[in-house]
């Protein structure tokens, strides 16, 4: 990642030099870097917003919270163990494959 940023800054400095901005090339070279950082920050903010506004879409988060609750209680019935197994498997499986697993096929 750092090598990519170094290449990005160097390329920006070369472009700034050929544009005739030799005197201000140090800050002109950083403009694309600032844009890259802004895109990165906006992406993180969007992901945070999406996760917080669509909790039902994230099965893995719900299952991990369920695992934390169940792990405190050591005595589980057979049905609870079965549901816990399906919860663990659901973290990495799409819903249609989970239906097949639940049917036992």
pLDDT in tens, 33-62: 788 888 888 888 888 887 777 655 555 555
72 and 97 share a domain?
A: yes
Residue 105 has a pLDDT of 46
Q: Give the count of beta carbons closer than 10 Å to the beta carbon of residue 29.
A: 20
The pLDDT of residue 102 is 59
CA dihedral (76, 79, 85, 91) positive or negative: negative
Which residues constitute the domain of residue 73? 57-103
Q: Are residues 36 and 62 in the same domain?
A: no
Does residue 64 share a domain with residue 47?
no
Residue ranges in the chain modelled with pLDDT below 50: 105
Contact criterion met (CB below 8 Å) for 90 and 98? yes
Q: How many domains does the chain have?
A: 2
Q: Is the pTM of this model over 0.85?
A: no
18 and 44 in a single domain? The answer is yes
Say yes or no: 8 and 41 in one domain: yes
Q: ∠ CA 62-43-13 to the nearest 5 degrees? A: 150
49 and 80: one domain?
A: no
């Amino acid at each position: 990642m750092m090598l990519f940023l170094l290449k990005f800054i160097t390329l920006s400095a070369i472009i700034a030099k050929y544009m005739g901005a030799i005197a201000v090339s140090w800050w002109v070279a950083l403009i694309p870097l600032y844009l890259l950082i802004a895109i990165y920050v906006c992406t993180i903010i969007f992901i945070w917003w999406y996760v917080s506004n669509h909790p039902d879409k994230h099965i893995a988060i719900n299952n991990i919270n369920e695992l934390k609750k169940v792990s405190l209680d050591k005595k589980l019935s057979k049905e609870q163990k079965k549901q816990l197994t399906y919860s663990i498997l659901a973290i990495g499986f799409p819903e249609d494959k989970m239906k097949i697993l639940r049917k036992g096929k």
